[in-house]
C-alpha cells in the first residue's frame, strides 16, 4: 500500500499516481501544520492520498479526509462515509464535498472506481470494492498507530454516490448487510441505477436513506432513479433540485462535464452539498457544528418553500 499525507490547505487536485501497482512498500510523506478553517467550530483536516488493492484485485487511487482531534471540539470516534464518483469521472470531482464533511467531524474516503466499461462484471467488481472499503475503514480504525486508530466508529459508516457511483453505493449497502461491517446510511446524488439495481430495491435494508436528483436529462438516464425509488420497500422521498444538471452533485466539476451534461452552478452545488452533509450528520450522529443547527428535514422544508426543490413521496409503502 502506498500512502502520503497532505494538509487541508493544499487545495490543488491530486496528481496522477505513477507508481506501479506492484510496489507494496509504504510511502509516507510528512504532515505539515494545518491552518485554521475559516468556519468557526469545525475541524482541521489532513488528507491521505494513496493506492491500495481492492476486493476485486484492482489497485485504485484514493483520498482519505481525516478530521484532526481538537480539545475544543467533540472527540472521536466519528462517523465515516465512502463517497463514490460517477461514470468516467474520478475521486477529485468530490474533493470539496469530502472536505466539507471532514471539517464537520466525518471521515470521508473518496476512492477511484475501476473502469465500468466491462459491463456487469465490472459493476459487480466495483460493488465488491465499496463493500471492502467499509471493512477497510473499520479495520484501520482499530489498528494501533494507524492514522485512523480510534477515529472511526465502525457502526456509523455510510455510503454516498453520484451517478453510477450511486448505483454502486446502493447495491454495496445491500451486500454489506451480510458482513461484519454493515452500512448505516446511504445518500444518492443524482444516481443512475442499472436494471439490476432497480430489481434489487426490495432487498434494501431498513436504514436511513435519501436521494436527491437533477432535472431529467440523457446524462441521468432521464431521471431513472425514480424507478428505483418507486420500488423501495419503505416510504422515501423523491427530491428534485429545480434546474440542476447532472454535474451539480460534483464539487468541483469541470468543463468536460459541462460540455456533456450541462453547466453546474455554485448555488445548486451548495444545495447538494448541504443536503448530503445534513443527512449524514443526522443519520450517523456526527458532531454538532455551531451556527449549523438546522436539521435535514428543516433544510428540505426551507428549500421547498423557496422553490429550490420539488418533493414527492415514493416507495412501495407510501
Q: Where are the domains of the chain?
A: 2-314
pLDDT of residue 240: 98
> Above 60 in pLDDT, residue 15?
no
Task: Reply yes or no on whether the pLDDT at 33 is more than 60.
Answer: no
Separation CA 245–CA 268 (nearest Å) = 9
pLDDT-derived band at 292 (thresholds 50, 70, 90) equals confident
Query: When comparing pLDDT for 43 and 24, which is higher?
Result: 43
Give the per-residue pLDDT at 8: 45
Q: How far apart are CA 1 and CA 48, in angstroms?
A: 12
pLDDT of 3 reads 61
In the predicted model, is pLDDT for residue 31 greater than 90?
Answer: no
pLDDT of residue 312: 96
- Separation between Cα atoms, residue 251 and residue 96, nearest integer Å: 5
CA distance 16 to 298: 40
- Banded model confidence at residue 122, pLDDT cuts 50, 70, 90: confident
pLDDT band at 289 (very low <50, low <70, confident <90, very high): confident
Q: What is the pLDDT of residue 2?
A: 55
Please give the Cα distance from 226 to 191 (Å, whole number): 10
Residues 6+ away with beta carbon under 8 Å from 128: 54, 55, 56, 172, 175
Q: Which of these CATH numbers, 2.60.40.10, 1.20.200.10, 3.40.50.1820, 3.40.50.300, describes 2-314?
A: 3.40.50.1820
Average pLDDT over residues 137-143: 97
- The per-residue b/e assignment along 178-201, b for 16 or more CB within 10 angstroms, e otherwise, is eeebbbbbbbbbbbbbbeebbebb
Amino acid at each position: 500500500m502506498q500512502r502520503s499525507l497532505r494538509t487541508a490547505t493544499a487545495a490543488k487536485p491530486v496528481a496522477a499516481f505513477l507508481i506501479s501497482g506492484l510496489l507494496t512498500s509504504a510511502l509516507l510523506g510528512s504532515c505539515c501544520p494545518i491552518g485554521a478553517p475559516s468556519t468557526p467550530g469545525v475541524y482541521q483536516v489532513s488528507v491521505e492520498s494513496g493506492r491500495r488493492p481492492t476486493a476485486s484485485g484492482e489497485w485504485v487511487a484514493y483520498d482519505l479526509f481525516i478530521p484532526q482531534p481538537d480539545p475544543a471540539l467533540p472527540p472521536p470516534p466519528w462517523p465515516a462515509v465512502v463517497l463514490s464518483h460517477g461514470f468516467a469521472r474520478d475521486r477529485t470531482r468530490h474533493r470539496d464535498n469530502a472536505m466539507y464533511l471532514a471539517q464537520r467531524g466525518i471521515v470521508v474516503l473518496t476512492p477511484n472506481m475501476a473502469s465500468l466499461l466491462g459491463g456487469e462484471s465490472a459493476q459487480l467488481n466495483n460493488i465488491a470494492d465499496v463493500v471492502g472499503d467499509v471493512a477497510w475503514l473499520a479495520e484501520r480504525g482499530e489498528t494501533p498507530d494507524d492514522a485512523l486508530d480510534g477515529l472511526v466508529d465502525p457502526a456509523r459508516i455510510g455510503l454516498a454516490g453520484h451517478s453510477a457511483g450511486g448505483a454502486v453505493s446502493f447495491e454495496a449497502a445491500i451486500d454489506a448487510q451480510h458482513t461484519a461491517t454493515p452500512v448505516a446510511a446511504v445518500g444518492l446524488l443524482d444516481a443512475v441505477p442499472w436494471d439490476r439495481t432497480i430489481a434489487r430495491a426490495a432487498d434494501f435494508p431498513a436504514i436511513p436513506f435519501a436521494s436527491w436528483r437533477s432535472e431529467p436529462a440523457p446524462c441521468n438516464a432521464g431521471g431513472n432513479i425514480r424507478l428505483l425509488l418507486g420500488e423501495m420497500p419503505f416510504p422515501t422521498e423523491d427530491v428534485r433540485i429545480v434546474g440542476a444538471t447532472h454535474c451539480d452533485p460534483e464539487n468541483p466539476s469541470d468543463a468536460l462535464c459541462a460540455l456533456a451534461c450541462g453547466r453546474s452552478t455554485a448555488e445548486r452545488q451548495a444545495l447538494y452539498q448541504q443536503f448530503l452533509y445534513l443527512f449524514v450528520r443526522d443519520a450517523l450522529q456526527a458532531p454538532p457544528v455551531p451556527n449549523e443547527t438546522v436539521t435535514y428535514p428543516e433544510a428540505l422544508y426551507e428549500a421547498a418553500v423557496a422553490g429550490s426543490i420539488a418533493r414527492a413521496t415514493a416507495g412501495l409503502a407510501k
